[in-house]
Amino acid sequence: MAVLWLMLLLMPASCLLQTTQDGTPGAAAENLSCRVHDVDFLTCDWTVGRAAPQDVQYQLYVEDGTTLERRKCLHYKTDDRGTHVGCRFDDISRLSKYPHGLRFTVGGTSGAARVPCTDVFRYLSAIEKLTPPNITVTCNKTHSFMEWKMLSYFNHRFNYELQIQKSTEAAATETVKEHTSFTLLNTGAYTVRIRVREVFDELLSEWSAPQRFECDQEEDMHTRSLRTSLLAALGVLLALLLALLLCRRFSLMQKVLPPIPRMKNPIGDDFPSTLMPWEAGRADPEDCAVAEVQVVKET
More confident residue, 167 or 166: 166
Instruction: Give the number of other CB atoms < 10 A from CB of residue 272.
Output: 6
| Strands 84-89 vs 75-78: parallel, antiparallel or unpaired | antiparallel
Q: 192 pairs with which residues across the strands?
A: 164, 211
User: What letter does residue 201 receive in the DSSP assignment?
Assistant: T
User: What letter does residue 94 receive in the DSSP assignment?
Assistant: G
**Distance from C-alpha of 154 to C-alpha of 198, rounded to nearest angstrom:** 11
Residues 6 or more apart from 103 whose CB is under 8 A from it?
10, 11, 62, 63, 65, 119, 120, 121
More confident residue, 59 or 283: 59
For 81-110, what is the mean pLDDT? 88
Write the burial class of residue 41 (CB in 10 Å: 0-12 exposed, 13-18 middle, 19+ buried).
middle
**Distance from C-alpha of 33 to C-alpha of 55, rounded to nearest angstrom:** 23
Does pTM top 0.75 for this prediction? no
Looking at residue 252, what is its pLDDT?
58
Give me the CATH code for the 2-122 domain, please: 2.60.40.10
User: What letter does residue 179 receive in the DSSP assignment?
Assistant: -
- pLDDT beyond 60 at 8: no
Task: Name residue 274's amino acid.
Answer: T
- Could you tell me the CATH superfamily of domain 135-214? Immunoglobulins (2.60.40.10)
For 223-251, what is the mean pLDDT? 79
Instruction: Give the number of other CB atoms < 10 A from CB of residue 240.
Output: 10
Looking at residue 93, what is its pLDDT?
85
Nearest to 98 by CA among 74, 70, 132, 117: 70
Does the fold of domain 135-214 match that of domain 2-122?
yes
pLDDT digits (tens, 9 = 90+) for 33-73: 999 999 999 999 999 999 999 999 999 999 987 778 889 99
Report yes or no: 172 and 208 within 8 Å, Cβ to Cβ: no
Q: How many residues does the chain have?
A: 299
Which runs of consecutive H residues, i.e. helices, occur in the chain?
2-10, 13-16, 221-256
* Per-residue pLDDT band at 5 (split at 50, 70, 90): very low
Half-sphere exposure of 141 (CA within 13 A, CB side): 4
Nearest to 24 by CA among 105, 117, 104: 117
Half-sphere exposure of 88 (CA within 13 A, CB side): 10
**Distance from C-alpha of 44 to C-alpha of 8, rounded to nearest angstrom:** 22
| Residue 65 CA, distance from chain mean position | 40
Nearest to 118 by CA among 26, 2, 5, 36: 26
pLDDT digits (tens, 9 = 90+) for 177-207: 999 999 998 778 899 999 999 999 999 999 9
SS3 assignment, position 292: coil
**Distance from C-alpha of 210 to C-alpha of 174, rounded to nearest angstrom:** 15
Give the start-to-end residue ranges of the domains of the chain: 2-122, 135-214
